[in-house]
Amino acid sequence: MRTPIVAGNWKMHKTIAEARELVNAMKNDLAQLAATGKVEIVLCPPFVSIPQVAELVKGMPIKVGAQNMHWEAKGAFTGEVSPTMLNEICDYVIIGHSERRQYFAETDESVNQKVKAALAHHLKPIVCVGENLTQNEAGQTQVVVSAQVHAAFKNISRDDARGIVVAYEPIWAIGTGKAASGAGANSVIGLTIRGALAEMYDEGTAQTIRVQYGGSANAKNVAEFFAQPDIDGALVGGASLVAADFITICKTAVK
């Protein structure tokens, strides 16, 4: 039985004061939901707000994550943040978000390096994969997503792989208001993503790894995704910035 995981990716939104306000508006409800053990809830604010958010949810069953990290533990990498800095205050780290791949030249190789570094520093990776619109329309979804999964999990042991979360995020659905259909996302996750994991490891491992859906998931449409057998929660962007919406999404995951 895989516990669904709902993670809020705040992207580059909210000042520290606004982050405090948002967390205070939802932390008690989220903690109650997380305490049921039926959903794992992760907040991923921008780096500067992570210490504040971690402090506000301290002692609560709410997890904190980062949106990116460098793979080196320290060094001359101006502007970067390392896994050793994050693991003091974070449980999770999002790796390979399509916006990082698109705007910051992140590659399958750097994603793999970051996944390995996260695991080495006891951070749980949420690895994002997904095809763009052109690839989708050209019928390349399976090939593209399978290759991304193979690359991200390259040289990662079966035991480590089991602790990784995958987020299937079709790029055409992110921030566009045009979510995938529940059945469509379930099919990519079940056949392509779990298929690639079964090729690399075995069927049991492929069935153990949690795979979220992400892309314009919101309080109204999320039940359709959570009802799918292969979808284990959601990576939520825009709707995670509104307390009532994020609470509803987490509530829906518990039902």
Residues that bind ligand PEP (CB under 6 A): 9, 11, 169, 174-175, 214-217, 235-239
131 is catalytic: no
CA distances from 199 to 37, 93, 218 (A): 31, 25, 32
The phi and psi torsions of 37 (rounded to 5 degrees) equal 80, 5
Residue 25: CB atoms within 10 A of its CB come to 14
Shortest separation between residue 97's beta carbon and ligand PEP, angstroms: 6
Q: Identify the active-site residue in 40, 97, 121, 224.
A: 97
Question: What's the CA gap between 191 and 170, in Å, rounded?
Answer: 15
Which is closer to ligand PEP, CB of 6 or CB of 54?
6
Give ∠ CA 16-21-23 in degrees, rounded to 5: 95
Which is closer to ligand PEP, CB of 70 or CB of 100?
100
Q: Identify the active-site residue in 40, 99, 131, 169.
A: 169
With CA atoms as reference, report the closest residue to 211 among 255, 158, 145: 145
Shortest separation between residue 41's beta carbon and ligand PEP, angstroms: 16
Which is closer to ligand PEP, CB of 39 or CB of 239?
239
70 is catalytic: no
Helix (H, G, I), strand (E, B) or coil at 73: coil
Check if the beta carbon of residue 231 is closer than 8 Å to that of residue 185. Answer: yes
Which is closer to ligand PEP, CB of 125 or CB of 237?
237
Which is closer to ligand PEP, CB of 182 or CB of 215?
215
Check if the beta carbon of residue 149 is closer than 8 Å to that of residue 193. Answer: yes
Shortest separation between residue 218's beta carbon and ligand PEP, angstroms: 7
Question: What's the CA gap between 41 and 51, in Å, rounded?
Answer: 17
Shortest separation between residue 169's beta carbon and ligand PEP, angstroms: 5
Residue of minimal CB distance from ligand PEP? 237
With CA atoms as reference, report the closest residue to 232 among 1, 44, 43, 5: 5
Shortest separation between residue 252's beta carbon and ligand PEP, angstroms: 15
Question: What's the CA gap between 162 and 104, in Å, rounded?
Answer: 28
Catalytic residues: 97, 169
